[in-house]
Chain A
């Protein structure tokens, strides 16, 4: 039982790290929440001498949660300046005026 809980906790911690690195916003909190739950269960099922790994997993997942929350609240979402798109808009507008004059 302890082993199963530990394996699930490790897998969820790895998923949490991946989700935290990717730009998935608060979606990363889903595996983090689950990881914390399974780490807690594994911790409870472990003897006092076997708790080192669960403690490490907890610290890693806790850092992931901090990273996700930090990115959510401290980093403002921005749209990159797309010069190609802006250029297309300018050219498109000129073409539109020609089209409109063609309709008149």
Chain B
């Protein structure tokens, strides 16, 4: 009983902190996915992926902190422990990034990247395990996103006005360079969306000029076909195989 009261109180407190940004991406949103990887034809659950948002204030500005964390389940940690995090601090209104960070720890192999956006210039620092830190400065366009903010930017697209087969182009920075990204609407499908139940979703194909993603229309993202456009399923095809992220829990949406 105590637990129930505590949980209810906690939910109410969290709801009171929730603030809607102009983009429609709320602060305090938390989406939990189960990450599965295709092993010999069977999807095997490997990790939990958490997407969360929160407002962060500095002395002068407010930023929306977009956080994406990947952690392997405890049973896998002894064999291959992964603790990855991808973070972006963006303008709450435009989702324009100011700071993007990537921290990778995969079975002891580590890599840390930091990108600072100032005007049309990006300064990136990268540090791999047992390698010296490298710094690079390069120019980007005014609408260039990082990969995390791009994922949220997709949710602000007017997908309802797009026709099936229609594409929209974006530019993202990844691995210290700009890559064009194309998002194509493939239609709508009913998808099981964790605690949200079964939802009618927009099926989007992500195409990027990078070696990281493989195949045509094999990298898919399903967003609920409503004003929240919550990502509920992501299917990916990478050089070492295929996998998917399926939503199990959504809160603060």
A→B interface (CB under 8 Å): 22-27, 29-30, 77-80, 82, 85, 88-89, 92-93, 96-97, 99-101, 103-104
Smallest beta-carbon distance B99→chain A, Å: 6
Interface of B is mostly: strand
B:19-53 near A, CB below 8 Å? 34, 39-42, 44-45, 47-48
Let me know if B56 and A97 touch, CB within 8 A.
yes
- Contact call A96/B87, Cβ cutoff below 8 A: yes
Q: Nearest chain-B residue to A71 (Cβ)?
A: B75
Return B75 CB to nearest CB of chain A, in Å: 4
Interface size class of B (residues with CB under 8 A): 35 or more
Which of the residues A23, A29, A88 comes within 8 Å of B76, measured between beta carbons? A23
Closest 8 CB pairs of A and B: A23-B75, A80-B74, A77-B73, A79-B71, A25-B44, A104-B60, A101-B58, A79-B48
The interface of chain B, by Cβ under 8 A from chain A, is: 34, 39-42, 44-45, 47-48, 56, 58-61, 63, 65, 71-77, 79, 83, 85, 87, 89, 98-99, 101, 103, 114, 116-118
- A27 and B37 alpha carbons, distance in the complex (Å): 11
A-B contact pairs, 25 of them (CB 8 A): A23-B76, A23-B79, A24-B44, A25-B44, A25-B45, A26-B44, A27-B40, A77-B75, A78-B73, A78-B74, A79-B71, A85-B71, A88-B103, A89-B85, A92-B87, A96-B65, A96-B89, A97-B56, A97-B58, A99-B114, A100-B56, A100-B58, A103-B118, A104-B59, A104-B61
Evaluate whether A99 and B61 lie within 8 angstroms (CB atoms) in the complex, with A82-B83, A92-B101 already known: no
Closest to B34 in A: A77
CB of B99 within 8 A of CB of A96, answer: yes
